[in-house]
Amino acid sequence: MELFKEAVPKLARVAVLYVPGVPVSVHEAKEVLPAVARALGLTLLLWEVRAADDFERIFATLTKQRPDGIYVPGGGPLFFANENRIAAFALKSRLPSMFINRETIDAGGLMYYGADLSDSYKRVAYYVDKILKGAKPGDLPIEQPPKFELVINLKTAKDRGYHSPEGAGESE
């Protein structure tokens, strides 16, 4: 959220979409983000998305409310199946958007910040190898992702007049 605020300095009211049936989505929307938003002086507008049919109603309301940006945390299969739809709405509505799914940036989303998945997949292969050689999964250490990436869609950023936070990777 701090990177989002840096890229979009006028950010004050942020719509947050979350899926109530996905615990990580609820935790981020109701516990993690409110503390971060307070520290940054942001107001969050929380929107529950229970089914694909909810998007049209939410998009219509957001068009009237005009938040300064939209943040889309992990929402499981529902968000994954509708990521292009969400990015298209943000683009059409001229809303800066931040996602935790890198592929959404290719669909027109403004920015992504998260674990470097290619690096994480290599670590998965390491763990599978250990397990296949007899290691007990419970005996293997839990790891944090060692690498993260920030990706900015330059076309979306230039079209909207935003600037990239220093050191950001860029995607055309």
Nearest-angstrom CA–CA distance, 42 and 35 = 10
- Residue 91 has which token pair? 């683009």
> In the prediction, which pLDDT does 101 show?
82
When divided into structural domains, the chain yields a total of 1
Decide if 50 is inside a domain: yes
Q: How far apart are CA 147 and CA 141, in angstroms?
A: 17
pLDDT confidence of residue 106 = 87
* Residue 127 forms part of a structural domain: no
Strands of the 169-171 sheet, one edge to the other: 43-48, 13-18, 69-72, 97-99, 111-115, 148-153, 169-171
The whole-number pLDDT of residue 156 equals 87
- pLDDT of res. 172: 47
Q: Using 50 as the pLDDT threshold, list the residues of the chain that sit under it.
A: 170-172
User: Does residue 40 form part of some domain?
Assistant: yes
Q: What range does the domain containing 154 cover?
A: 2-115+148-171
- pLDDT for 102 equals 84
pLDDT at 115: 85
- Examine residue 55 and state whether it is found in any structural domain, yes or no: yes
User: Which CATH number goes with the domain that contains 21?
Assistant: 3.40.50.2300
Here the tokens at position 17 are 């979409």
Classify residue 124: in a domain, yes or no: no
Determine, yes or no, domain membership for 7.
yes
pTM of the model: 0.80
Rounded distance between C-alpha atoms, residue 1 and residue 14, angstroms: 10
Q: What is the pLDDT of residues 1-23, one digit of tens each?
A: 999 999 899 999 999 999 998 99
Residues 6+ away with beta carbon under 8 Å from 111: 3, 4, 7, 96, 97, 98, 99, 105, 150, 151, 152, 153, 168
